[in-house]
Structure 1
Amino acid sequence: MLDLAPWAWALLGLGALVAGLGKTAIPGSSTVTVVVAASILPARTSTATVLLLFIVGDVFALTTYRRHADWRTLLRLAPAVIVGLLVGAVFLALAQDGIVRRTIAVILLAMIAITLWRRWRSRTEKSGRIAAAGYGTLAGFTTMVANSGGPVMSMYFLATRTPVKVFLGTSAWFFAIVNLTKVPFLAGIGLITPSVLLLDLLLAPLVVIGALIGIRLAKRMPQQLFDRLVTVLTIAGALYLLV
């Protein structure tokens, strides 16, 4: 797996940089990392590789936003998220690589479509236990299969009218806990291998650099421009995975 072409290493490096940036500055941009990894590596392998890179980024997200979490929201989501994680783990254990690859693409396209629809709708609604169950289950499944639970949780936090700082702090704790929970599942089905660990060791410094850049630039970057760029890149990457 490490015998990759220079252009593949360059893209993986870019994906690692974006992974760090997405954790501290641009929520949702880490989807680009998912697309890049799944385009270059076997789909199931890419899931494990990206997970470990995201955990590195989680450290910096917690360092920056850890004090603003709403633990009642996390506890409300927990049962549904666990169900989604279990379903996603079974799917990864049974599905062939090609199916996982296309599932990642479909999930990404669906999340983009729903996110854009929510923005176009431009209003939020109060959400109760049913919404928490739906969003939580979908977030657990998508994050297990494709490390793409971010858009789902963003929609939930928007629907519950969560303040910005609480949004960032709760997201940081949510993904730190969920990502650590996923490690034994992926290890148990044989996806965390020495090759994956070595690849992540080589890419981790770029995640750190991206996270540090994000911390410094979070309040200066034109969010609308980056949102559009990430959306375009993610759509293009997801369509590529479907081919």
Structure 2
Amino acid sequence: MDLTTGQWIAVCAAAFGVGLGKGGLPGLGNLAIAIYALAFPARISVGILLPVLMAADLIAVIVYRRHAEWGVIGKFLPWTVLGVCLGALVFGNIGDRTVEILIGLILLIMTGLHFLKSFLHRGRTDVPTGKAALGLRASTGIIGGFATMIANAAGPVAALYLIFLRLPKIAFVGTLAWFFMIVNWIKLPFMIGLGAINLDSMSVSLPAMAFAMVGVLAARAVVEKIPQKLFEWLIWIFVIGAGFQLLL
């Protein structure tokens, strides 16, 4: 691809933001999705961004390798894979705008329900169990898998699920790092088969991957200094902002 200087700056800056997001700074990964979507046609932007995400995943897993909650991943992953398969079936056959609106609405509705629950159950520290936990896991997993296949946009949905579990911030970041590395490798054959990843797209992805890796390393020092309560509020702001962004 013959990119302008401005496009290269946008691509590399957004890739650095991907790394910061993977390293635990909420919202920046979602911003990168928007930048790539503005710089390239929708299908092409998804294919260019996936290898960048995978490069950031690799560094994030190395940095947070001891902090994953594998029980959470094991329960959440099958539902997400189901969503990925559904997304692969409709990729290219449904309007991007329709998908964005649906995801945005679901994010905002689920966020509203969370704060309503918090208001009604003030002082409680329990996490969802039984049928409530299964329903939350299944709904967010399928929606997240579908969203990540269509637009690499599962971050808000996965964050929404994990924050319900009240994981400590480092465990939160480590679990997301391992989870998305696995999911993105599962997505890779689908993306190649659908033509979203090819030699042209990789000519843009490869230089950007280095910036994503540096971003992950830069994020660790910041994450460790953020108080737990502030960290959770940043996640909720990220989820709400992502919901409105997808609607607009």
TM range (shorter): 0.7 to 0.9
TM-score, normalising length from structure 2? 0.81
The match for 2:182 is: 177
Task: Please tell me the residue identity of whatever aligns with 1:18.
Answer: G
In structure 2, stretches of 5+ residues that fail to align are 119-125
What amino acid maps onto 1:141 in structure 2? F
Please tell me whether the aligned partners of residues 35 and 234 of structure 1 are also in contact (alpha carbons under 8 angstroms). Answer: no
- Give 1:170's aligned amino acid: T
Partner of 1:150: 155
Pick closer, same or farther for the CA change 1:112–1:9 going to 2, 3 Å.
Answer: farther
| 2:48 match: secondary structure | helix
CA distance 1:232–1:27, shift in 2 (3 Å): closer
Cα contact 1:115–1:151 (8 A) shared by 2? no
1:195 alignment partner in structure 2: 200
Quote the residue 1:113 is aligned against: 108
- Matched residue pairs, number? 235
Secondary structure of the equivalent of 2:2?
coil
Residue 70 of structure 1 deviates from its aligned partner by: 1.9
Deviation at 1:160, TM superposition (A): 2.3
SS at match of 1:69: coil
Structure 1 residues 232 and 166: CA distance shift in structure 2, 3 A: closer
Q: 1:114 to 1:60 in 2, by over 3 A?
A: farther
Distance 1:66 1:111, change over 3 A: farther
2:121 paired residue number:
none
Root mean square deviation, CA, Å: 2.9
Task: State whether residues 20 and 208 of structure 1, in contact with CA within 8 Å, keep that contact through their aligned partners in structure 2.
Answer: yes
Partners of 2:235 and 2:65 lie apart in 1 by 24
Using the size of structure 1 for normalisation, the TM-score is: 0.83
Alignment deviations for residues 136-164 of structure 1 (CA, whole Å, 9 cap, x no partner): 11111111111111111111112223333
Q: What corresponds to 2:87 in structure 1?
A: 88
Change (3 A) 1:9 1:120: farther
2:2 alignment counterpart: 3
2:62 equivalent in structure 1: 63
Of residues 168, 177, 183, the one that matches 1:163 is 168
2:3 is paired with a residue of what secondary structure?
coil
Q: Distance in 1 between matches of 2:204 and 2:39?
A: 13
Local SS of the residue matching 1:66: coil
Contact 1:62-1:169 at 8 Å conserved across structures: yes
Question: Counterpart amino acid of 1:76?
Answer: K
1:43 shift after superposition = 0.4
Q: Which amino acid aligns with 1:149?
A: A
CA distance in structure 2 between the partners assigned to 1:229 and 1:64 by the alignment = 25
Report if aligned partners of 2:156, 2:239 keep a CA contact under 8 Å in 1. Answer: no
Q: Is the 8 A contact 1:19 1:33 kept in 2?
A: yes
- 2:123 matched residue in structure 1: none
Distance 1:5 1:226 in 2: 34
Structure 1 residue 219 and structure 2 residue 224: aligned?
A: yes
State the distance in 1 between where 2:180 and 2:70 align.
13
8 A Cα contact 2:76 2:141, kept in partner: yes
Letter in 2 for 1:30: G
How much does 1:80 deviate?
Answer: 1.4
Do residues 76 (structure 1) and 75 (structure 2) align? yes
**Residue in 1 aligned with 2:213?**
208
In 1, the alpha carbon distance for the partners of 2:35 and 2:232 equals 22
- In 2, are the aligned partners of 1:118 and 1:155 still within 8 Å (CA)? no
Q: Is residue 23 of structure 2 the alignment partner of residue 18 of structure 1? A: no
